[in-house]
Amino acid sequence: MKLNVDALRYLSKDDFRVLTAVEMGMRNHEIVPSELVDRIASLKHGGTYKVLKNLLKHKLLHHDSSKYDGFRLTYLGYDFLAIKTLVNRGVFVSVGRQIGVGKESDIFEVATEDGTVLAMKLHRLGRVSFRAVKSKRDYLRHRSSFSWLYLSRLAAVKEFAFMKALEEHGFPVPNAVDCNRHCVIMSLVQGYPLVQVKQLQNPEMVFERIIGLVIRLAEHGLIHCDFNEFNIMIDDDEKVTMIDFPQMVSVDHRNAQMYFDRDVECVFKFFLKRFNLSFQEIPDDIDDAEGDMDESGRPCFSSIAKGSGFLDKDLAASGFTRKDQEDIEKFIEGGVEKDADSGDEENEDGGLASELNESDISGVESLHLVEQPTLNCDAEGRVEESEQKTEAGLTNGPETQDASDEEEDNETMIRKDAELTKRLRNQKRRVIASVRGGRKNLASRNTYKDKGGSSSHNSKIQKQLSSW
């Protein structure tokens, strides 16, 4: 659905109030009932239904009466809510032409009050071209049900966070300005997508910068996962800028090596096909990276040393779990304690054995061990205990005699309890057997009347119960 902001100027406060009421109702409803919309909006004199009719006219809402009479937001209505909020904040004052379209987003030009042109990215997950979001992205995490509008909002928030963090660490990314719902406002990159570039003055230098960015991201704990010619911008001075970050994952992701190798392979294939670049002439120290190269000249993921940035931990990137964060904190704390205790001396095994020995020794010293008494026999065959037992505080005084008497009393009590339990069990078994026998006599009415089963049977049961 194309974004037409002409109707935005004609919408009143009541229109946006009803749109917001539908948005709030969609938190718990796929189709929001009309009564709930009216109750949340709280317009006077039943004006909600008149406003709903106007919003349906502009295709800001979708009406569904298959199960019950209800409404849901369309992407155009969600766009109007986000744009209205950002305009009220003073982020921009006008919306211009569309400058880009992708499988999961649309990009427009917006202008601020002083005339500065910015880029507005509207996430539109759920298109026919890209609906495998649940299997390819981790936006849902533990959730089973989802809405496309909600997933678009999660993607926008994630991209804004990545863009902000990468900018603070000196990566060539657009300047993140603001974010609301599924809309991200960023600075407009003055350049062209690399896929549209047919010729470069220094393709080797551009290639080195791009591969250096891939390695540098990995050193900070992140992998782009979609690093290709469509997401790389280049200006007239051949300055490179990265874009599109919602799908970034951590280097601790279970498929991290596959994503890293795929990003590198995309760059190699493009430069080989477009610029006929010979990779054998490229130096090994690409952008001063510490990663080693394999036989084909591609950087090796296993040899890249993760730096001190830990952006995947700060941003909770996909693949970085809470367990990984706890392991890193333990590692850091362990390193600090080791530096404080070890001094200038280090073990040949890296200090791990010394740390284990110290922990074992400290644990052993905290225990109070009691020496076991040794038994000796005298000339008359009586058993005597050595002095070690007296040192440990164990004597054959009245305490041991009291303990033996208590043990005998306990044994007699246990024996009596066992006999009583056995007697009660037998009596209970006899009562149950008699009751079952009486029920068998009820099979024939004549025999039951002739034998007088009612009185005799009841008396028998009463005798058994009284004895039990």
Classify strands 249-250 and 375-377 as parallel, antiparallel or unpaired.
unpaired
Would you call 362 helix, strand, or coil by DSSP?
A: helix
Asked if 48 contacts 38 with a C-beta cutoff of 8 angstroms, the reply is: yes
Q: Is 226 a catalytic residue?
A: yes
Classify strands 61-64 and 70-73 as parallel, antiparallel or unpaired.
antiparallel
Nearest to 384 by CA among 392, 395, 393: 395
Q: Which residues contact 6 (CB under 8 A, 6 or more apart)?
A: none
Q: Which of 64, 226, 287, 324 is flagged as catalytic?
A: 226
CA dist., res. 55 & res. 78, Å (int): 12
φ, ψ dihedrals at 304, nearest 5°: -80, 125
Q: What is the 3-state secondary structure (H, E, C) of 304-354?
A: CCCCCCCHHHHCCCECCCHHHHHHHHHHHHHHHHHHHHHCCCCCCCCCHHH
List Cα–Cα distances, 10 to 13, 16, 55, 71, 272, in angstroms.
10, 11, 11, 21, 53
- Catalytic residue positions, numbered: 226
